Chain A
Amino acid sequence: MTEAHVEGQQHPLGVYIKVWAWLFVLSAFSYMVDYYDVQGYLRWTLILIFMILKAGLIIAIFMHMAWERLALVYAVGVPVLAVLVFTFLMTHEADYTFDTRGTFFVESAP
């Protein structure tokens, strides 16, 4: 049995510094979305894009996922998809609750 690698992951510092800088820039962009009061679908699209980019950079580079074997990537990545299914279910449930409340609980205008 080959022993776990002793050296660990060695990557040039330059990659980390670049990613670090990008995380700052992307965070600044997300903050700008709020600062300049972007509204509507553009707001949500921008927030999601910046969020996914930041999350991707952190997982891939800072957490070394880009250099791990696929077995580990799948073991951690695939179960997370269940959260997306759950999200889909709950959006419908929330819409239903909202409609029900609209029908039964909101007082009629005086």
Chain B
Amino acid sequence: MSESTPGAIMRPDGVEGVIADWSSDQRAFKKVPWGKAMMWIFLLSDTFIFGCFLLSYMTVRMSTTVPWPPVSDIFALSLGGEPIPLILIAIMTFVLITSSGTMVLAVNYGYRRDRAKTVLYLIITAIFGATFVGMQAFEWTKLIMDGVRPWGNPFGAAQFGSSFFMITGFHGFHVSVGVLFLILIARKVWKGEFDNETRGFFTSQKGRYEIVETLGLYWHFVDLVWVFIFAFFYLW
């Protein structure tokens, strides 16, 4: 659309025209790269998804006449002695917060054009993320062995199982996808695609270090969701 002459602006017709008109030089979010703005919009929609999950959990927990299972005891783990309540979940929380911290460092070193350190911290973040997913898999296995099913469990209200598998499953899926993208972006940084502004194969946009920050937004969001799950599902 650079060929616009005064008075007569050439604009494409049809579907191409729809796209051109909607994307023509109008920017609501100044000083923010498009990828970052779009990530925020995506995260907003994801907020509604997790919001609805937690809300439905609240609704079934408030409306059941059967006592809710003792969450603190179910997630207890004995590390060679007395069972410590909720210890596995506490460790998972700390693992995820640690990964958030290393992600911040990756973004920071990315903007400083420090390729090696960016890759290092992206990989560390991915390792912590994978650890989290691994612990979640362990937790699921333990609960399934204990007889927890989406339609019932031996500890109390049947809604416990469906809420648990739905909420933590969806969150675990988000973490897994995050780990995948961390590895992909780490590879791009390592190959210097953000320094050379190599065009991506999918969006064909120039590679920039802003992508690391956009990925960071997603990763922190995953941590953010866990804050709410930890408070409402495990501690409440």
Q: Mark interface residues in B170-193 (1 if CB within 8 Å of A CB, else 0).
A: 000000000000000000000000
B51 interface residue per 8 A CB criterion: yes
Is the Cβ of A16 less than 8 Å from the Cβ of B65? no
Number of A-B contacts (CB under 8 A): 155
Chain B window 64-93, contacts with chain A (Cβ cutoff 8 Å), 1 for yes, 0 for no: 110000001000000000001110001001
Within 8 A of B (CB), among A53-110: 54-55, 58-59, 62-64, 68-69, 71-72, 75-76, 79-80, 82-83, 86-87, 90-91, 93-95, 97-98, 101-102, 105-106
Tell me, rounded to whole Å, the shortest Cβ–Cβ distance linking B114 to chain A.
12
Task: Verify A4–B32 contact, CB threshold 8 A.
Answer: yes
In the complex, the answer to whether B235 meets A59 with C-beta atoms within 8 Å is no
Contact B31 A83 (CB under 8 A): no
Give chain B residues whose Cβ lies under 8 Å from the Cβ of A102.
65
Chain A residues at the B interface, C-beta cutoff of 8 Å: 1-2, 4-11, 13, 16-17, 20, 23-24, 27, 30-31, 33-35, 37, 43-44, 47-48, 50-51, 54-55, 58-59, 62-64, 68-69, 71-72, 75-76, 79-80, 82-83, 86-87, 90-91, 93-95, 97-98, 101-102, 105-106
Nearest 10 A-B pairs (CB), nearest first?
Answer: A94-B62, A97-B63, A51-B231, A83-B51, A20-B101, A94-B63, A8-B111, A4-B33, A31-B90, A94-B59
Residues in B lying within 8 Å of A, measured CB to CB = 25, 27-34, 37, 40-41, 43-44, 47-48, 51-52, 55, 58-60, 62-65, 72, 84-86, 90, 93-94, 97, 100-101, 103-105, 108, 110-112, 208-210, 213, 216-217, 220-221, 223-224, 227-228, 230-231, 234-236
